[in-house]
A and B are shown apart, each in its own frame.
Chain A
Amino acid sequence: MEVIRIQHILVYYLTNTVSMIKINNLNFGYSKHKPLFKNMNMQLSNGHIYGLLGKNGAGKSSLLKNLAGLVYAQSGTLDVMGFNPVKRQPALLEQICFIPEEFYLPSVKIDSYVKANAPFYKNFNHTYFSQLLKEFDIPASNKLVNMSYGQKKKFIIAFGLATQAKLVIMDEPTNGLDIPSKAQFRKIMASVLTDDRCIIISTHQVRDLDNLIDTVIMLDEHDVALKASVDEITQKLTFKKVKELDESIIYAEASLSGYNAVMPNYHNEDSKLDMELLFNAILAEKIKFKPLFN
């Protein structure tokens, strides 16, 4: 077990040396009196699927918009692949696939949309695009205006991924997808993670995506409350069902057969990360988690 762990940590650090995104002392807010982020610092690297979690209003969408250069920070620096995103330079824009929660599509046929927009992306892959449409069950002859919300969403995801952008940002991508579409989405996301890609997905429907996410970022109280890989979390914490509560338990929620509990991983147990439980645990017991992750 130990050998694997060291190997794994080694692999983690080797791939981690390249930071695709560097956030330094970011201060941001929609008005001066109501700051959303205070002196936020974070680095994100390629080869990962980051899961961005946070309560409503914690600033998930705002952080994503900062990364895409759609809003201006009050102070601090943002470096995305060597660019400052607020300059909105084409060389960076063609490397970003941004899937907003609410989106707009012109009322044209898929074909004409692609013809008008794909040429902006040097690496756009038409074969891959039609493959994605097929996987998502969208007929290529459809008119965008006649499609349902879920279909439209799948369309922009397919288009965005076909641009082969290095940075994939998705704001609540599974919202509006039906159950089979969610499975299709997970399969597609599992296939698009490559070593040179960085994928950031914000979600409040953790169960849709928890096996896809390899690093959890949690926003709370104007800052990053937690940023840790799933491996690191399960190395330090164990998630299990217990019959009775005891001292060692940091946080627990009652369930049918006892309690779902989070506790320090004293015995090197391998447990499955319960993201929802972790989320609630950190909101409730922020101070207890601080010394564990630093």
Chain B
Amino acid sequence: MEFRDNKAIYLQIADYVCEHILLGKWKAEEKVPSVRELAVEMEVNPNTVMRTYELLQNKNIINNKRGIGFFVDESAIENVKGYRKVQFIDDELPVVFRNIYLLNIGFDELKAKYETFVKENFNV
């Protein structure tokens, strides 16, 4: 995986895990890769992956079954969405807002753009 420059590695790995859960690659109640396996795959220090898993445990996205390993929580998708929403609102939205303000984009225009985007990309 290519890491970006600005975000802490353990958070980027958390995003990677969340992405897999949202895309259904790792399903609820299924085992996720062990700390070591994921560390090898990402070419990072296992302690970093450990930190990611601690974070995801606290967000109830994965849980630790003692002695067996980490599993996707049954309500993981919901919790990932909640976690990502907070992240999006805190980190990414301010940048978008700044541009909307600077470039004087109206909310109507924005809404129309948003609807076409959803239609084109997700066929709703």
Contacts and interface: CB of A to CB of B under 8 A. Distances in A.
Contact between chain A and chain B defined by CB under 8 Å: yes
B10 to A, nearest CB: 8
Interface stretch (B24-32, B40-48, B92-100, B101-109): B40-48
B22 interface: no
Interface in A171-216: 183, 186-187, 190-191, 193, 211-214
A4 interface: yes
Contact of A193 (B7, B42, B46): B46
A190 B43 contact: yes
Nearest to B41: A187
Given A4-B54, A8-B51, A190 B44 contact: yes
B33 to A, nearest CB: 12
Interface string A46-59: 01110000000000
Contact of B5 (A193, A230, A234, A272): A272
B47 A214 contact: yes
Given A270-B11, A272-B5, A48 B39 contact: no
Interface residues of A, number: 29
B51 A211 contact: no
Contacts of A3: 58
B70 to A, nearest CB: 15
A7 interface: yes
Given A3-B58, A240-B6, A272-B6, A187 B40 contact: yes
B51 to A, nearest CB: 6
Contacts, number: 69
Question: How many interface residues does chain B have, given as a range?
Answer: 20 to 34
A145 to B, nearest CB: 31
Nearest to A193: B46
A190 B9 contact: no
A231 B55 CA distance: 14
Given A3-B58, A7-B54, A211-B48, A186 B43 contact: yes
Given A4-B54, A211-B42, 17 more contacts: A3-B58, A4-B55, A48-B47, A190-B39, A190-B42, A190-B45, A191-B39, A211-B43, A211-B44, A212-B44, A239-B6, A270-B7, A270-B11, A271-B6, A272-B3, A272-B5, A274-B5
Interface of B: 3-9, 11-12, 36, 39-48, 50-51, 54-55, 58
Interface of A: 3-4, 7-8, 11, 47-49, 183, 186-187, 190-191, 193, 211-214, 230-231, 234, 239-241, 270-274
- Give the 6 A-B CB pairs with smallest separation, nearest first: A186-B43, A270-B8, A190-B39, A211-B44, A214-B45, A190-B40
18 contacts: A7-B54, A8-B51, A48-B47, A49-B45, A186-B43, A190-B36, A190-B44, A190-B46, A191-B39, A193-B45, A211-B42, A211-B44, A214-B45, A231-B51, A241-B5, A271-B6, A272-B12, A274-B5
